[in-house]
């Protein structure tokens, strides 16, 4: 029994027990994890940017935070107000193009008529269509909830950023309590995960910017309309690691079909595949190597598994979570250990 008590008192064992307790708490509070993660990401980026502006322009920290949020929210509002009308105009063209294709191809017209008749007289298809409608309303509710979480996370990150000095002072009081060792472990684990998450988000922003630039050049040569709109779409979806380029296929192909038909759709798909291969096999490994220590194949498997375990958030935090555990358990890439030392 004494040996077991001594084992529990070991420093690394206490750290792992604290980690297990935190995982259990996160599991029971998983319904709030979306807001927590968004708030963490926004606050990290806001604080780092504000500290840079404070040092660069010699302004008070509070003024730097407020100015940064006004600038970002203004740019976001301008982008939405610019992109929304253009996207609606592009989508309006699609029904006209489909109608024109049906009129110009009698065989296609007859096939559609047969499908419509079968649909009307098939109770199973009517039932399936009802399920599709119900699913659509459910997904619309998810989108609305996601927007609510986004707005709330922006507000909470703003409040945290402006009150950061006071929060840090308050947090230090926990390290002076009788349970200072436990709170010290919590602080160590939380700080390590936030730093890993922040570095990966920063790297993903850089990858996203490069991908958007290359994609915009490619779309320009394909004579796609509204390049600024497409650049905004590609950038926002590109914030999703690795899979963002593939997800961007959906809006890009819709706009490509509306502006140039199936031939332009094929050209856009080829362009997306080329950009995706460039990101996956060159850009992502080079820029993420020092951040995650994960090979590209392991990164892909991580994204797939984590997306199944925790949903869409797995695409965002999957790599930071795996990198966090590798760092906690002291597992590092053998390639780094084989790097030759500079002997001057």
Q: Is residue 69 in some structural domain?
A: no
Q: Enter the tokens of residue 162.
A: 């402006």
In a domain, 201, yes or no: yes
Chunk the chain into consecutive blocks of 10 residues (it has 344) and report each block's average pLDDT, rounded to whole numbers. 65 84 86 84 90 89 92 85 72 63 58 61 54 50 67 91 90 86 89 86 83 88 82 77 66 78 84 81 67 69 76 73 82 53 45
Residues 44, 215 contacting (CB under 8 angstroms):
no
Q: What is the pLDDT of residue 5?
A: 66
- Within a domain: 79: no
pLDDT at position 100 is 60
Phi and psi for 242 in degrees, rounded to 5?
A: 60, -55
CA distance 333 to 340: 14
Concatenate the DSSP letters of all residues of 6-24 into one string: HHHTSHHHHHHHHHHHHHH
CA 106 to each of CA 27, 79, 89: distance values in angstroms, whole numbers, following the listed order: 57, 42, 28
Kind plus residue range of the DSSP H or E element containing 241: none
Alpha-carbon distance values, 1 to 6, 148, 250, 305 (Å): 9, 52, 61, 40
Could you give the C-alpha distances from 181 to 14, 21, 195, in angstroms and in order?
9, 14, 21
The continuous run of DSSP H or E covering 30 comes out as none
44 domain residue, yes or no: no
Which of 324, 220, 221, 214 has the alpha carbon at shortest distance from 276? Answer: 214
Q: Could you give the 3-state DSSP secondary structure of residue 342?
A: coil
* Whether the Cβ atoms of residue 227 and residue 201 lie closer than 8 Å to each other: no
Q: Has residue 173 been placed in a domain?
A: no
Output the six-digit token pair for 218: 């490619």
* Total domains present in the chain: 1
pLDDT tens for 182-235 read 889 898 998 888 888 888 888 878 888 888 898 889 888 888 877 887 888 788
Q: Tell me if 129 is assigned to some domain.
A: no
- C-alpha 173, offset from chain centre: 34
Report yes or no on 35 lying in a domain. Answer: no
**Closest alpha carbon to 282 in 205, 198, 202, 207:** 207
pTM summary value: 0.71
Q: Are 89 and 67 in contact (CB under 8 A)?
A: no
pLDDT at res. 324: 85
Nearest 5 degrees, angle CA 269-CA 272-CA 275? Answer: 150
Instruction: Return the DSSP state at 313.
Output: G
Tokens of 21: 């307790």
Give Cβ neighbours of residue 285 (< 8 Å, ≥ 6 apart): 295, 296
Residue 80 belongs to some domain of the structure? no
The residue segments making up the domain with residue 290 are 181-330
Q: How far apart are the first and last CA of the chain?
A: 54
- Full DSSP string of 158-175: HHHHHTHHHHHHHHHHHT
Give the pLDDT of residue 156: 93
């Amino acid at each position: 029994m004494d040996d077991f008590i001594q084992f529990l008192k070991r420093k690394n064992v206490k750290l792992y027990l604290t980690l297990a307790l935190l995982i259990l708490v996160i599991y029971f509070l998983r319904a709030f994890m979306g807001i927590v993660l968004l708030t963490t990401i926004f606050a990290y980026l806001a604080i780092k940017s504000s500290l840079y502006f404070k040092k660069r322009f010699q302004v008070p920290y509070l003024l730097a935070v407020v100015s940064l949020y006004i600038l970002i929210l203004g740019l976001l509002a301008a982008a939405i107000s610019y992109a929304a009308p253009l996207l609606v105009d592009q989508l309006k063209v699609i029904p006209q193009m489909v109608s024109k294709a049906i009129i110009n191809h009698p065989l296609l017209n007859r096939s559609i008529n047969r499908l419509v008749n079968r649909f009307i007289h098939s109770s199973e298809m009517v039932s399936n269509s009802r399920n599709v409608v119900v699913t659509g309303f459910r997904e619309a509710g998810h989108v609305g909830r996601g927007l609510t979480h986004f707005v709330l996370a922006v507000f909470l990150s703003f409040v945290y950023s402006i009150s950061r000095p006071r929060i840090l002072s308050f947090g230090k009081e926990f390290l002076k309590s009788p349970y200072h060792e436990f709170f010290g472990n919590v602080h160590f684990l939380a700080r390590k995960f936030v730093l890993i998450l922040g570095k990966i988000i920063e790297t993903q922003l850089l990858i996203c910017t490069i991908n958007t630039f290359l994609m915009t050049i490619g779309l320009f040569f394909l004579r796609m309309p509204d390049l600024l709109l497409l650049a905004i779409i590609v950038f926002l979806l590109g914030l999703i690691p690795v899979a963002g380029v593939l997800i961007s296929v959906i809006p890009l192909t819709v706009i490509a079909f509306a502006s140039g038909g199936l031939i332009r759709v094929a050209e856009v798909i080829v362009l997306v595949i080329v950009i995706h291969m460039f990101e996956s096999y060159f850009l992502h490994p080079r820029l993420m190597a020092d951040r995650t220590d994960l090979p590209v194949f392991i990164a892909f498997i991580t994204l797939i598994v984590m997306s199944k375990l925790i949903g869409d958030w797995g695409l965002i935090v999957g790599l930071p979570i795996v990198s966090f555990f590798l760092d906690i358990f002291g597992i590092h890439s053998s390639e780094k250990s084989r790097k030759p030392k500079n002997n001057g």
